[in-house]
Amino acid sequence: MVWQPRGTLDDAQVDTLIDMIEEAEEKAETPFNRYTDLSKLDAVGLNFDYVFRVSLYRRIIYGDRPAVKSAFYVTDRPTAEVAVTHAVVAIDSPLMVKVFLDRETAADWLGVSVCDLELDR
């Protein structure tokens, strides 16, 4: 699953993403990895408490399902703060979250090509 939000990352965008992920997880026959490209954002309108609560919620809801990888590509401090917060909350859970400063390393970790991560071709 690839997600590349635009504009301002806010509570509503994240809530929509969570709904999409949970629906996809229910329908999927096998677990799937995730890639979030935060490089196209104009701004981040999330506060720490919200990011922490959502991350903790995802950790609890995902439960003891099989491990999946979730890669975040970040290009600035605000996007890195969101991704790192999620990664820290997910430590020691089946949600293996890593933050990347380049797409190539993220693609390697996910075991896909960089082209597989591109929505804008």
Contact between residue 65 and residue 31 where contact means Cβ atoms under 8 Å apart: yes
CATH assignment at residue 113 = 3.30.750.24
The number of domains in the chain is 1
CA–CA separation, 30 vs 1, rounded Å?
Answer: 13
Mean pLDDT, the chain, integer: 95
Q: Tens digit of pLDDT for each residue in 80-93?
A: 999 999 999 999 99
- Closest to 37 in 3D by CA, of 112, 121, 116, 103: 103
Tokens of 80: 């890195």
**pLDDT reading at 114 higher than 80:** yes
Please give the pLDDT value at position 119: 76
Which of the four pLDDT bands, split at 50, 70 and 90, describes residue 94? very high
Q: Which amino acid is at 63?
A: G
Domain with 31 in it: 2-117
Q: Count the alpha carbons within 13 Å of 99 in the hemisphere toward its beta carbon.
A: 19
CA–CA separation, 22 vs 7, rounded Å?
Answer: 23
Q: Tens digit of pLDDT for each residue in 42-72?
A: 999 999 999 999 999 999 999 889 999 999 9
CA–CA separation, 43 vs 105, rounded Å?
Answer: 24
Q: Which amino acid is at 93?
A: S
* Mean pLDDT across 32-47: 96
